[in-house]
């Protein structure tokens, strides 16, 4: 399923619960195939997934399925929650996951990584770093610790978008006392995927 175009999802884009049940395994395979090109591992414990219209379409269908939602209001609520995570053509939107398999270590590190969500950056060619705008939908950190999941937005200007399209390298990193890592530059695969998100 090709679903590259930007633009928000509407109720017309969604399958009924019954249709989705029939299409789910092939739809999921399409989404997983696309997600493979949208991952970036930053160090051992932080992963970014750059979201797209397709990944959010899947998220909405999965939520409707799990909650057995078929009323118009409930469907609209899910759309309102996930539509803001679809890139707009001048930005990238990413889910950031902080992953530690050991629970005690995870608690300890989430306390040490407080504020990390604001310290993630992307940089196209020689342009300035663009810092993440984190968790616009709801606050995910408190005074004690950060959350294990954050939603980030990176807003690019026209020159940066043009530089991406002309093949300038893309660097991505984190500058935080408990986690300092940078990928310079990201691989060709992710570069191409993110360039295609800019229209």
Does residue 182 sit within a domain? yes
77: phi > 0 → left, psi -120 to 50 → alpha, else beta; which?
A: alpha
Q: What is the pLDDT of residues 48-82, one digit of tens each?
A: 999 999 999 999 999 999 999 989 999 999 999 99
pLDDT value, residue 169? 98
CA separation for the pair 183, 40 (Å, rounded): 9
C-alpha 83/C-alpha 60 separation (Å) is: 9
Give CA torsion, residues 15, 19, 20, 26, to 10 deg: -110
- Tell me, yes or no, whether 4 lies in a domain: no
6: in domain = no
DSSP H helices, 7-134, are 17-35, 53-67, 72-82, 103-112
Average of pLDDT values for 150-157?
A: 96
Host domain of residue 94: 11-196
Instruction: Kindly tell me if the per-residue pLDDT of 29 is higher than 70.
Output: yes
- Domain total for the chain? 1
DSSP 88: -
Whether residue 186 is contained in a domain is answered as yes
178 alpha-carbon distance from chain centroid: 22
- Nearest to 124, CA basis, from 186, 169, 88, 154: 169
57 within a domain of the structure (yes/no): yes
- Of 22, 136, 155, 158, the C-alpha closest to 83 is 136
Q: Could you tell me if residue 97 is inside a domain?
A: yes
Residue 1 lies in a domain: no
How many angstroms separate the CA atoms of 21 and 33, rounded? Answer: 19
- Banded model confidence at residue 5, pLDDT cuts 50, 70, 90: low
Question: How buried is residue 23: exposed, middle or buried, by Cβ count under 10 Å (0-12/13-18/19+)?
Answer: middle
pLDDT tens for 98-151 read 999 999 999 999 999 999 999 999 999 999 999 999 988 666 667 788 999 999
Tell me if 5 is assigned to some domain.
no
Does residue 2 surpass a pLDDT of 70? no
């Amino acid at each position: 399923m090709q679903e590259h175009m930007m633009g928000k999802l509407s109720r017309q884009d969604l399958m009924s619960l019954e249709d989705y049940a029939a299409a789910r395994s092939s739809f999921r395979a399409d989404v997983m195939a696309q997600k493979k090109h949208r991952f970036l591992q930053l160090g051992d414990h932080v992963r970014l997934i750059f979201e797209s219209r397709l990944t959010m379409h899947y998220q909405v269908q999965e939520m409707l399925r799990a909650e057995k939602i078929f009323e118009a209001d409930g469907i609209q609520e899910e759309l309102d929650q996930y539509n803001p995570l679809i890139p707009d053509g001048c930005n990238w939107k990413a889910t950031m996951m902080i992953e530690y398999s050991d629970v005690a270590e995870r608690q300890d590190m989430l306390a040490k990584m407080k504020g990390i969500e604001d310290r993630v950056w992307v940089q196209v060619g020689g342009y300035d770093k663009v810092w993440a705008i984190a968790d616009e939908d709801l606050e995910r950190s408190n005074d004690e610790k950060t959350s294990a999941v954050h939603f980030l937005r990176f807003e690019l200007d026209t020159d940066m978008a043009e530089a991406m399209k002309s093949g300038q390298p893309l660097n991505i990193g984190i500058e935080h006392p408990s986690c300092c890592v940078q990928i310079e530059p990201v691989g060709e695969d992710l570069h191409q995927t993110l360039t295609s998100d800019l229209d």
